[in-house]
């Protein structure tokens, strides 16, 4: 699959991979800030943004998409930065093709598996979000505010609705619709919650050979203290940094601190 991307800057190649419901344009401020020192690529993952839709949405496919993208751009190695679902995508690529990684930065996601039936706050939130998106009746939408009004019936957080509204697109026919392939995302939520198989790793068998940084939000529960042992099992040399006063969307809540943390590490 040929992914849509944005590119700017000069220097060592750095690829930023967005998370679930996101797109490359969510990372424009971060990308442009890093472009003074790096050749920055912002990609849209499959079923998101301006990239093609597909009936499959799992980390094998998304990892292969990213590898194909690197080949097409003639990038033998790159710094990979991934947020949330994008963080898992870059971790899966690091697992199968460590020789393609210059440095790895994973933002607010652990490598462990989260099942949609385990009643965690994360799985409940995402199930509610995608159900709310699919419940929108676009035949009753005449302006963007109508979408927000329908979403508010099941998604009460204005912050989350504002983020989701970035996926609303008005076509050439004048009708509004989701850019995101919401139906496939709902079907593939169990795959999206999957993580790296920890049972494959024993002491001395972790992924090494390049620097690794995990960045978490102080107010987020996506990388708890209990997750750090799992991270170290897979990436023994990983460093952990915490951004204060930030939840899961660090690039929106604390963009300057996130940029500073990335720059310091690199």
The pLDDT of residue 116: 52
- Class of residue 177 by CB neighbours under 10 A (exposed 0-12, middle 13-18, buried 19+): middle
Same domain, 59 and 174: no
Same domain, 241 and 131: no
Q: Which residues of the chain have pLDDT under 70?
A: 114-121
For residue range 199-232, list pLDDT tens digits in order.
999 888 999 999 999 999 999 989 988 899 999 9
Domain that holds residue 66: 5-113+195-265
The pLDDT of residue 86: 98
Q: Is the pTM here over 0.85, yes or no?
A: yes
For residue range 3-45, list pLDDT tens digits in order.
999 999 999 999 999 999 999 999 999 999 999 999 999 999 9
Same domain, 138 and 261: no
The pLDDT of residue 203: 83
Same domain, 166 and 133: yes
Same domain, 73 and 140: no
Same domain, 171 and 213: no
Quickly list H helices, the chain: 28-34, 59-72, 85-96, 121-134, 144-151, 158-164, 182-187, 189-193, 227-234, 250-253, 255-265
How many structural domains comprise the chain? 2
Same domain, 217 and 247: yes
Same domain, 48 and 129: no
């Amino acid at each position: 699959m040929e992914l849509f991307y944005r590119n700017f800057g000069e220097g060592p190649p750095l690829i930023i991979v967005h998370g679930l419901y996101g797109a490359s344009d969510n990372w424009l401020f971060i990308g442009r800030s890093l472009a003074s020192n790096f050749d920055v690529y912002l990609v849209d993952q499959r079923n998101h943004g301006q990239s093609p839709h597909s009936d499959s949405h799992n980390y094998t496919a998304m990892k292969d998409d990213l590898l194909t993208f690197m080949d097409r751009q003639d990038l033998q190695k790159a710094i990979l930065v991934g947020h949330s679902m994008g963080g898992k995508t870059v971790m899966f690529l690091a697992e199968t093709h460590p020789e393609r990684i210059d440095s790895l930065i994973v933002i607010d996601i652990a490598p462990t598996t989260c099942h949609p039936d385990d009643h965690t706050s994360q799985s409940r939130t995402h199930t509610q979000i995608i159900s709310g998106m699919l419940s929108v009746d676009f035949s009753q939408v005449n302006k963007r505010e109508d979408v927000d009004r329908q979403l508010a019936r099941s998604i009460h957080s204005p912050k989350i609705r504002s983020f989701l509204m970035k996926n609303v697109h008005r076509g050439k026919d004048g009708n509004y619709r989701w850019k995101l392939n919401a139906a496939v995302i709902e079907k593939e939520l169990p795959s999206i919650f999957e993580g790296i198989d920890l049972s494959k790793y024993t002491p001395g068998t972790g992924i090494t050979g390049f620097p690794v940084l995990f960045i978490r939000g102080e107010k987020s529960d996506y990388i708890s203290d209990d997750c750090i042992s799992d991270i170290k099992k897979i990436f023994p040399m990983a460093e952990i940094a915490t951004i204060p006063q930030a939840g899961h969307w660090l690039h929106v809540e604390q963009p300057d601190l996130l940029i500073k943390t990335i720059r310091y590490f690199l």
